Chain A
Amino acid sequence: MGRTLPTSTDLFLQEQESFGRFRRALRRSDQLALDDLFDSARLHLAATQYASHALPFEVMLLSMLLEEHKLVMRLREQFDIFSRRLP
């Protein structure tokens, strides 16, 4: 659409595709986990674009980490609740 630069979605797809060989050699179960990681990077494409970082993959890695950390935080909270309930 008359843009000079690829959008963050394009960049994302390029990065994901560049790991095609890596993904192919993984076990099916690991492939699914990898896809899940990439999906979590996708949740922050707007922020990735806004960051306009020269190395977008770094921001994507950080996005994956962000989602993982959210999960850890949530699990920890749940764990605290459960451990308090235990006798």
Chain B
Amino acid sequence: MKISGWLFDIYPNKVNGLTLWLIGDDGQRYCLQHEFAVRFYAAGPSAQLRALWKFLEGREEPVKLSRTERRDIYMGKITVLACEVANPAAMRDLFQQASQAFPDLTYYDADIHLALRYAAVTGVFPLARCEVETLGNRVQSIQPIDTRWELDPIAPPMRTLSLEPDDDPSCRTPKGIIFQYERYSYRLDLEPARPVLVNLRAILERFDPDLILTNHGDTWLIPWLASKIKELGIPIPVNRDPGYEILTHKEHTYFSYGRIVYRGQQSQFFGRWHLDKQNTMLWSDYGLDGALEMARVTCLPVQEAARLSPGSGISAMQFVTAMQTGILIPWRKAQAEKPKTALELIRADMGGMVYQPTIGLHENVIGIDFVSMYPGIMVHFNISPEVQRSGIALEPSTDEPGIVPQTLEPLLKKRIAYKSALFDMPKWDDRREKYKARSSAEKWLLVTCFGYLGYKNARFGRIESHEAVTAYGREALLRAKEAAEKLGYEILHMYVDGIWVKKAAKPDADDIRKLLEDVADRTGLPIALDGMYRWVAFLPSQVSAKVPVANRYFGVFQDGSTKVRGIEARRRDTAPLLSKTQMGILEILAEASDVGAIRKVMPEVDRFIDSKVRALRDGRVPLEDLVMRQRLSRELEAYRTPSPAARAAQQLAGVGKTMRAGQSIRFIITRGKPGVHAWDLPTEVDRKSIDVQRYQALLYRAIGTVLDAVVPLEKPPDLFDLPARIEIPIKNDLMAVC
């Protein structure tokens, strides 16, 4: 029989080969078996390889052994022992035995996800359209019809059941559960649990959804269901494949990029997808599209692709490239950093160029950005662990592209294609949201790719390549600076891949084109206009008014839209009251067509601020607008002087809700002790206890951040036209001391 359709799910069969789930063009769901042998390789001294050969021959599991040549990324062609296991499910145990018995051998391709192997061999990846020739339920042959780089892939027709608890389980225990599918939507009480289970079973049997979409499903709903199924003994086909239990991954915390990260528990199904909105990347912005794109380009099954941790997406893609081009994937990375002299280290160990902006309000500002700078550098200059490059001449490499640029190039092209399509697309076009979602998912992969190049455990990472990327980045930025200065611009700020310049006279379209061309000429990298600003304010640090901070600014573009970075309005930890007030002020300021007109809108700003302050004093601000957030930086017991978040977490612990390091705590500031009220406590905060004065101080500070930059409170005597930073009246201070 011939079936065409979409690959829906893929996992190792317990008995032999793989289980594939297909959504057919005829609307049927097919469960197919595909015989698929997997291989791992071992390299080392021949005596040891011979011993491994004997060892593997003696195992129960049949293994096909052969001596062959493959390419190690650093050493070139080497002789390896290929071990082919017919049953993918058995490979893990077998490999474990081998690696324990012969720990000194170098192993390759040992722990690669099955979906990736399948994609590399057959070209069929999750959600790919494919044609299958079958005999019974056995796959005879399979052919992909589309590729991962399709801009408008045809989406499979999907049936979705949505399950949501009626309350946030991290604060209060939910009482009911809301079912939604087709045109039905209703709520059932959680207790007694029997009707919930019976109902769910009926839906699963009759409606047979492909996707179970939940809120808090990973951490609460699915574990709750699983425990009830066990308790009441009602079997429910949550997995379409009856031979399987629900797959769960335990919660864990780890330390990454200077902070503690918390990953909750996960629950996944077989033959059906479970996606938890709370645990799906970019869900709040883009819904399902981002997750599906992630699965397509990384070749990982949807349930995993949606819950990716940084780095695993991009390494999945590198593995597929490696397998397709016959490069061995080391099981454990053996490459160590080469010794460097102290001076070499000082030269190499630098990040991107981050400038100190010129503090103050600037008119006629142009912002330009390198397009996907770091991935662009990797592709354009062929930066990959195995490629030798010297110097930073900013000339394209003539060597064969390495594994990193090979992996990135199609991804980068696809993202640029989406971005440029979006640029020309009218607002009403319904492809816009999809394109945005996909390009965001791709951006995320591209961003992590750079970090992963320098990660010590990345299989194709190497710190020197990572350093080379930042070195090229700094060089490109400095060349951009030189190009702009030559054209008579003043440099206001540079930030890794962006640069802000201004000119006394308002630049026109020709000026901007000339600038972009010159920069592109000098650097060889694509550059784009971030925008032409009516004005931009670069803000000083909160500690000293004379010290600039790299990423604290706001500005208004020519079209009246605003760009805000680093101030309270952008921070997730500040109370919404503060960000709403700041954004409100900015919106009013954005009505002014230029700096001179700001004065005219000031009365309106004053009225707006007045209304906000009054609302706070009169207790008319909604409670949720006062909620602050802070992350627990360590476990509760480890605090010596508990932070507000820790005190709030203690309150939660008091009512039996343990919070772990890395989780963020919501609270309201109150008067007296303990000074906070955890937002997720079952009792609501007493309005009278709220520390209005503290909130008022915070509010004034947030207002000051915006207004101080725009309207200097008192103008210094302009006699000598001194720059702002040397205004300090040393003489006056002397008088004060005397």
Whether B454 is near chain A, meaning CB under 8 Å from some CB there, is yes
* Interchain CB contact (< 8 A) of A5 among B258, B345, B356, B728: B345
B349 touches A4 (CB 8 A): yes
Whether B346 is near chain A, meaning CB under 8 Å from some CB there, is yes
Whether B723 is near chain A, meaning CB under 8 Å from some CB there, is yes
- CB within 8 Å of B: which of A1-38? 1-5, 7, 27-29, 32-33, 36
Query: 19 A-B pairs, CB-CB below 8 angstroms?
Result: A1-B257, A5-B349, A7-B351, A29-B730, A29-B734, A29-B737, A36-B546, A39-B546, A40-B725, A44-B356, A46-B355, A46-B494, A50-B353, A50-B478, A52-B346, A52-B347, A52-B350, A54-B342, A75-B720
Q: Measured between C-beta atoms, what is the minimum distance from B351 to chain A in Å? A: 8
Known: A54-B343, A54-B346, A74-B722. A32 touches B728 (CB 8 A): yes
B356 touches A50 (CB 8 A): no
Q: Measured between C-beta atoms, what is the minimum distance from B476 to chain A in Å? A: 13
- CB within 8 Å of B: which of A29-66? 29, 32-33, 36, 39-40, 42-46, 49-50, 52-54
Known: A39-B546, A46-B356, A71-B726. A32 touches B347 (CB 8 A): no
CA gap between A53 and B347 in the complex, in Å = 8
- CB within 8 Å of A: which of B494-511? 494
Q: Measured between C-beta atoms, what is the minimum distance from A27 to chain B in Å? A: 7
Q: Measured between C-beta atoms, what is the minimum distance from B544 to chain A in Å? A: 6
A36 touches B349 (CB 8 A): no
A50 touches B544 (CB 8 A): no
Whether B733 is near chain A, meaning CB under 8 Å from some CB there, is yes
CA gap between A33 and B737 in the complex, in Å = 14
CA gap between A83 and B350 in the complex, in Å = 48
CA gap between A32 and B726 in the complex, in Å = 12
Whether B583 is near chain A, meaning CB under 8 Å from some CB there, is no
Q: Measured between C-beta atoms, what is the minimum distance from A15 to chain B in Å? A: 15
Known: A27-B737, A32-B730, A78-B720. A39 touches B544 (CB 8 A): yes
Q: Measured between C-beta atoms, what is the minimum distance from A65 to chain B in Å? A: 14
Contacts of A2 in B (CB 8 A): 257, 454
CA gap between A27 and B738 in the complex, in Å = 11
In this complex, what residue of A is CB-closest to B723?
Answer: A74
A4 touches B345 (CB 8 A): yes
A1 touches B258 (CB 8 A): yes
Counting from the closest, the 5 A-B pairs by CB-CB distance are: A46-B355, A39-B546, A52-B346, A5-B349, A29-B734
Q: Measured between C-beta atoms, what is the minimum distance from B39 to chain A in Å? A: 34
Q: Measured between C-beta atoms, what is the minimum distance from B410 to chain A in Å? A: 29
B547 touches A39 (CB 8 A): yes
Tell me if A's interface is mostly helix, strand, loop or mixed: helix
Contacts of B459 in A (CB 8 A): none
Contacts of B347 in A (CB 8 A): 52
Query: Looking at A46, A50, A78, which has the most chain B CB atoms within 10 Å of its CB?
Result: A46
In this complex, what residue of B is CB-closest to A39?
Answer: B546
A46 touches B354 (CB 8 A): yes
Query: Looking at A2, A49, A53, which has the most chain B CB atoms within 10 Å of its CB?
Result: A2
Number of inter-chain CB pairs below 8 Å: 62
Residues of A in contact with B (beta carbons under 8 Å apart): 1-5, 7, 27-29, 32-33, 36, 39-40, 42-46, 49-50, 52-54, 71, 74-75, 78
In this complex, what residue of B is CB-closest to A3?
Answer: B349
Whether B721 is near chain A, meaning CB under 8 Å from some CB there, is yes
In this complex, what residue of B is CB-closest to A43?
Answer: B356
- CB within 8 Å of A: which of B711-738? 720-723, 725-726, 728, 730, 733-734, 737
CA gap between A74 and B351 in the complex, in Å = 34
Contacts of A74 in B (CB 8 A): 720, 722-723
In this complex, what residue of B is CB-closest to A79?
Answer: B720
Q: Measured between C-beta atoms, what is the minimum distance from A62 to chain B in Å? A: 15
Contacts of B354 in A (CB 8 A): 46
Q: Measured between C-beta atoms, what is the minimum distance from B52 to chain A in Å? A: 36
Contacts of A1 in B (CB 8 A): 257-258
In this complex, what residue of A is CB-closest to B737?
Answer: A28
Contacts of B547 in A (CB 8 A): 39, 42
Whether B474 is near chain A, meaning CB under 8 Å from some CB there, is yes
- CB within 8 Å of A: which of B421-447? none
B737 touches A45 (CB 8 A): no
* Interchain CB contact (< 8 A) of B733 among A5, A29, A45, A71: A29
A50 touches B350 (CB 8 A): yes
Known: A42-B356, A46-B494, A74-B723. A36 touches B728 (CB 8 A): yes
**Known interface pairs A36-B726, A52-B350; 13 further A-B residue pairs with C-beta atoms within 8 A, sorted by A's residue number:** A1-B257, A2-B257, A3-B349, A3-B351, A7-B351, A32-B728, A36-B728, A42-B547, A43-B548, A45-B356, A46-B355, A50-B353, A50-B478
Q: Measured between C-beta atoms, what is the minimum distance from B458 to chain A in Å? A: 12
* Interchain CB contact (< 8 A) of A33 among B342, B720, B723, B730: B730
Q: Measured between C-beta atoms, what is the minimum distance from A4 to chain B in Å? A: 5
Q: Measured between C-beta atoms, what is the minimum distance from A12 to chain B in Å? A: 10
Contacts of A3 in B (CB 8 A): 349, 351
In this complex, what residue of A is CB-closest to B719?
Answer: A78
B733 touches A78 (CB 8 A): no
CA gap between A28 and B738 in the complex, in Å = 10
Q: Measured between C-beta atoms, what is the minimum distance from A59 to chain B in Å? A: 12
A50 touches B474 (CB 8 A): yes
Contacts of A32 in B (CB 8 A): 728, 730, 733
In this complex, what residue of A is CB-closest to B356?
Answer: A43
CA gap between A33 and B732 in the complex, in Å = 12
Q: Measured between C-beta atoms, what is the minimum distance from B311 to chain A in Å? A: 13
In this complex, what residue of A is CB-closest to B722?
Answer: A74
Q: Measured between C-beta atoms, what is the minimum distance from A33 to chain B in Å? A: 6
Contacts of B733 in A (CB 8 A): 28-29, 32
CA gap between A64 and B622 in the complex, in Å = 49
Contacts of A45 in B (CB 8 A): 356
Contacts of B723 in A (CB 8 A): 74
Chain B window 245-275, contacts with chain A (Cβ cutoff 8 Å), 1 for yes, 0 for no: 0000000000001100000000000000000
In this complex, what residue of B is CB-closest to A32?
Answer: B733
CA gap between A74 and B725 in the complex, in Å = 13
CA gap between A49 and B347 in the complex, in Å = 9
CA gap between A31 and B726 in the complex, in Å = 15
Contacts of B474 in A (CB 8 A): 50
